[in-house]
Structure 1
Amino acid sequence: MRNSASGSAPCLSAPPLPRFTARHGAFAAVASGAAAAAVIAAPGAAAAREVKGGEVCCCVGAAATARNGVASRTSADWRERRVSSCVVSSGRVLSALPQGGRPALRTEPMLDLEVVPERSLGNEQWEFTLGMPLAQAVAILQKHCRIIKNVQVLYSEQSPLSHDLILNLTQDGIKLLFDAFNQRLKVIEVYDLTKVKLKYCGVHFNSQAIPPTIEQIDQSFGATHPGVYNSAEQLFHLNFRGLSFSFQLDSWIEAPKYEPNFAHGLASLQIPHGATVKRMYIYSGNSLQDTKAPVMPLSCFLGNVYAESVDVLRDGTGPSGLRLRLLAAGCGPGVLADAKMRVFERSVYFGDSCQDVLSMLGSPHKVFYKSEDKMKIHSPSPHKQVPSKCNDYFFNYFTLGVDILFDANTHKVKKFVLHTNYPGHYNFNIYHRCEFKIPLAVKRENASGQTETCTTYSKWDNIQELLGHPVEKPVVLHRSSSPNNTNPFGSTFCFGLQRMIFEVMQNNHIASVTLYGPPRPGAHLRTAELP
């Protein structure tokens, strides 16, 4: 906790969120409808980055080239290991084979994982937990990249909200499905049980010596409702609470007698003896089809504070500040007291000092001092070419999805930057998604004085219909780690409206919103806002 004269706030000191880079793991991004994987990072790539208030500079040790929109490494050893062909449908990879068309022989030992229904899959070193944020799962993969290799990132490029965001561990036969909206882990799927060892309550039910047959599942997990047969997939689904198994029939000849209309009674719903598990799913609730990503477990907070929602406050001229509804894992009195989630609100305004912000939000994850201003050339000021004697600086709050820019001379807030964290953007996975709501003044006929709300999921076309088309053409923003490197995600477009800058991606989604305005006169009474 950080204490000050004006109040206290939980400390946010923590390392910045990881990008999809790894020194020994292969990460690939596959967009819906694409024919090949776009390589983001590769084994042996030494990467360094610098956060610049929403802008990240990466220096990759090995050269990368862009060919037909697909980035690939030029080293020969990487070409031998990269995924060369992927059949993609609705954001899901249906088949992926290494070059040559034959599966690579695995020399490393298999993962030995514990299954906890309706909760997690993991071991003593790490654990994938339902409700876990995407960034934490990526951090686990990066930390254990010597063991967990060949990871693909699957998403829909044109409609990122229509399909789940998937981390596909191709070497281990595991998929992690994240909700497209809140980006928390929703389903854990094991689609190839020959590549991993699984146990329940410390006893293996799947390994090289123990095949996962229906008899073994019944012995390990006990009785449940009769299985459900899917004639289209020729699979039996055996469901427990928070856990489902799909069994493959030995022969298509067995399928007709398990059709619903072929026999009557429970005999028609029994899974044949010797049937083996083809897939396993871990999820929350009783139904895999109706499951949703649970709330973030307390074990995933790790001392950080997260934003449940961020409301943009507005006065007569434009944005005036932010009201944040924050979540933290607090403990009651006593060492053995159960941890519980704390919910509280904080507000920050233009013109607030850095001490005010620290007392409201706590310490930032990182402080970045600007060394240059690339937008200065668009300023009408005749002194724009005069170098500044001191630099403005950002407070980067990665888990809130917010950057705050302070003036170097007055140390007052002059800008807020809100990040949506869409896949396919250059800054993806640096910030958590900011669930913001921005009131916009409508400029249509017969709508004077009315306001509409812009959210994280609004599209730019809808906003333009409400506000009218921008007077000026957009500024094209192209991010890259260095002048010699290519950004595989392409450029974005920045539109200025009502003291706000909307950064729009090529799929019409908003990548970030920058709020700016004159400092709010006078001091604010803070004691009334403290819980």
Structure 2
Amino acid sequence: MSLWNILDMLRRMQHAFPLVEVKYDPDTVTTPVVLHIRPHLDLLFSGYHQRLHTICIRKPRDLNPPITLKYKEHVLSSPDEVLRRLGVNRTFGPTYPGDELRYPGVSFGFDVDGRGEALKSSNHPEDRMQEVRRVVITQKSQEGERRDALDEVSECEAMAGEVERAVVKIHDGITLQFHPSSSTQIRIKLGISSAQDLICDLGPPLRIHYKEDDRMTIHARSLDREGDSDTDYFYNYLQYGVDFLIDGSTHLVKKIVLHTNIPGSPLFQRYKRCPWEIEGRPEDNEDETPPRMRFFDRADQIRHFLGPEQSPPSMLLDRTDDEEALTLPGSITRLVGYDGLVLETTESSQVASVTLF
């Protein structure tokens, strides 16, 4: 599951999860994110694609709220059942010696934080009755594979139908590649793809938003278009991290916005992260791998990639202007304009969104 999906689910279940802490490093777009849901759960999400990597269950005997752990149909731990070293051995069988019981995809520890286990010995008979205080669940590794806690999640069936990458071609459009990697690509072209094409290829949008904010029309080159702007509308595909602005007269795609879902930014959690890549010009006609800049590259690198000899115009945007109760340390972003593309960059040189037009 993605960070966006799980936070959306927790928001709908506030009665069960009234307090959720989001922990991250604000200085990098590839920061792993940890959700701490008291008292039992820590959820670790990978830094690049924001997918659930590790589940840590602490204090399974804490009754506020009560928790039940099952393996297949067998109850391991519940308010009436204490999980001990002996019970783990009986259910999962033998494993390698150590202070934790480790099996493919799951480990059982006897200290809440795992800090004191190195000081304990597991050679005494009474250790068979040690109570399990921590359970760590990860993606099951392939035979012989060694995985780090900060690695990306391997492709699996649960990802089917989600965006693997979105390749941006300036003045052209985007190509969406979905999981699994062998699936068919979908191309959306500016001025050619229609609202009906989007529905056929991507399904209905989660939201349709009619364009009411005309503050940018003062910067428009053609004044003739100002009268039509109020009929334009957005198709918001929040689950893909993409917005499409549809012309109200022709019903063709006129702008595409791709969102990076940076923790701590004003738009965090409104959209799932879209793993976009901006494709540059190939070196020659036979170049099948043109250079690309990706969502995790720093803004100054992308600016140099787009126009090494340019000093493009920029404007400041504060997305909290209309939210009186919202204060964020990094609420002001900078819009940097190029011919056919706008970057929205943060103070820490991250790209929060890319607009293609």
**TM class by shorter-chain length?**
0.7 to 0.9
Higher relative contact order (CA 8 A, sep 6+): 1
- CA–CA separation in structure 2 for the residues paired with 1:208 and 1:356: 53
**1:165 corresponds to:** 33
Worse overlay, 406-415 or 478-487? 478-487
Aligned equivalent of 1:391, options 231, 251, 256: 231
User: Residue in 1 aligned with 2:85?
Assistant: 214
Instruction: Give the deviation of 1:470 after TM superposition.
Output: 4.9
Against the structure 1 CA distance between its residues 255 and 148, is the aligned structure 2 distance closer, same or farther, given a 3 Å change threshold? closer
Q: Which residue is equivalent to 2:132?
A: 277
Would you say how many aligned residue pairs link Structure 1 and Structure 2? 337
Q: Tell me the equivalent position of 1:137.
A: 6
Deviation at 1:146, TM superposition (A): 1.5
Residues 382 and 322 from structure 1, CA distance in 2 versus in 1: closer, same or farther, beyond 3 angstroms?
closer
8 A Cα contact 1:348 1:360, kept in partner: no
Q: Distance in 2 between matches of 1:406 and 1:202?
A: 50
Question: Residue in 2 aligned with 1:430?
Answer: 270
CA distance in 1, matches of 2:266, 2:227: 29
Distance 1:321 1:280, change over 3 A: same
Q: What is the CA distance between 1:270 and its match in structure 2? A: 9.0
Displacement of 1:382 after TM fit?
5.5
1:300-352: per-residue Cα shift (whole Å, max 9, x none)?
A: 76xxx422222223xxxx42122222348xxxxxxxxxxxx981112121212
> Matches of residues 67-466 of structure 1 in structure 2 within 5 Å?
132-162=1-31, 164-170=32-38, 172-195=39-62, 196-227=67-98, 236-248=99-111, 258=121, 272-286=127-141, 289=148, 292-298=152-158, 305-313=161-169, 318-327=170-179, 343-352=183-192, 353-381=194-222, 387-388=227-228, 390-440=230-280, 452-466=291-305
Alignment correspondent of 2:286: none
| Letter aligned with residue 140 of structure 1 | M
Aligned partners of 1:219, 1:494: CA distance in 2, in Å? 60
Cα distance change on mapping 1:475 and 1:205 into 2, 3 Å: same
The answer to which structure has the higher strand fraction is: 1
Give the C-alpha shift of residue 436 in structure 1.
1.8
Q: Which has the higher helix share?
A: 2
**What letter corresponds to residue 60 of structure 2 in structure 1?**
L
TM-score normalised by structure 1 residue count: 0.57
Q: Which whole-Å CA distance do the structure 1 matches of 2:298 and 2:325 have between them?
A: 29
Paired with 2:316 and 2:224, the residues of 1 have a C-alpha distance of 24
SS at match of 2:11: helix
RMSD: 3.3
Q: Which amino acid aligns with 1:293?
A: V
CA contact (8 A) 2:3 2:45 kept: yes
1:417 and 1:366 map into 2 onto residues whose CA distance is 14
Name the SS for the 1:414 alignment partner: strand
Identity of aligned residues (%): 27
Q: Secondary structure at the match of 1:293?
A: coil
Matched letter for residue 206 of structure 1: S
Closer, same or farther in 2 for the Cα pair 1:461/1:223, shift >3 Å?
same
**Are the aligned partners of 2:47 and 2:152 in contact in 1 as well (CA < 8 Å)?**
no
Where does structure 1 differ by over 6 angstroms across 4 or more consecutive aligned residues?
Answer: 252-257, 267-271
Deviations 1:426-454 (A, max 9, x none): 22222222222212359xxxxxxx96411
Deviations 1:414-436 (A, max 9, x none): 11111111212222222222222
SS at match of 2:296: coil
* CA–CA separation in structure 2 for the residues paired with 1:254 and 1:486: 43
Q: Which residue of 2 aligns with 1:67?
A: none
Q: Structure 1 270/347 Cα, relative in aligned 2: closer, same or farther at 3 Å?
A: farther
Larger Rg, first or second structure (1 or 2): 1
Counterparts of 2:120 and 2:61, CA distance in 1: 28
